[in-house]
Amino acid sequence: ETGVTQSPTHLIKTRGQQVTLRCSSQSGHNTVSWYQQALGQGPQFIFQYYREEENGRGNFPPRFSGLQFPNYSSELNVNALELDDSALYLCASSPNPGDPYEQYFGPGTRLTVT
Amino acid sequence: TQLLEQSPQFLSIQEGENLTVYCNSSSVFSSLQWYRQEPGEGPVLLVTVVTGGEVKKLKRLTFQFGDARKDSSLHITAAQPGDTGLYLCAGAGGTYKYIFGTGTRLKVLA
């Protein structure tokens, strides 16, 4: 069974640029959630996708957007990057979108905005 | 807005000691999860608690869900250096779909 994978591992971008992060779900999981984790803090929920539709969103501006594909892989796009967007971005997959939310996380993408 | 506050924030103990980490909220959660995260990696799910008063054991780790489902605790017996990491509680939020606690950073010294 393949776990959750994310790419790239690390990324450096300049303020104002756009970035796309990718995630492959664990086999059999149809739900993907994205999180932002700043240094020393717990992850903050960005949004969740279930069967290619957004299924819940955290307190993040519209410049954070996502996609889920028919094979349940997913992308997180961030436009007009700001310095505060520097963080570890985590993707998590689940076998279903409902409670209890048993999520399986990928290793994350470390984004640095300069 | 639902919040999950964890205490203590940092904990440094000697190998063999016992410890308890707390996760508290003023809101009711239908379930809570506990995760452990190591540097450079994503959180790893340890357990889910669903029923008020529920106790689950995972080797030397004991998890308890409060009777009112507003709080949870994690107790580690005879801690080992391999237990070192960031411990996070998390649950389904009200306004936002899922929230994580503030985290407890544990260091177990050999």
Q: What pLDDT was estimated at residue A27?
A: 87
Q: Could you tell me if A60 lies within 8 Å of chain B, comparing CB atoms?
A: no
Q: Could you tell me if B39 lies within 8 Å of chain A, comparing CB atoms?
A: no
**How many angstroms away from the CA of A111 is the closest CA of chain B?**
12
Contact between chains at A99 and B31 (C-beta distance less than 8 A): yes
- Distance, in Å, from the CA atom of A10 to the CA atom of A89, rounded to the nearest integer, reads 10
Q: What is the pLDDT of residues A33-75, one digit of tens each?
A: 999 999 888 999 999 999 999 998 999 999 999 999 998 899 9
What angle (nearest 5°) sits at the alpha carbon of residue A76, between those of residues B45 and A35? 35
**CA dihedral over A40, A66, A20, A69, signed as positive or negative:** positive
CA neighbours closer than 13 Å in the CB half-sphere of residue B59: 5
Q: What pLDDT was estimated at residue B2?
A: 65
Q: What is the pLDDT of residues B32-67, one digit of tens each?
A: 999 999 988 999 999 999 999 999 999 999 999 999
- Distance, in Å, from the CA atom of A102 to the CA atom of B63, rounded to the nearest integer, reads 16
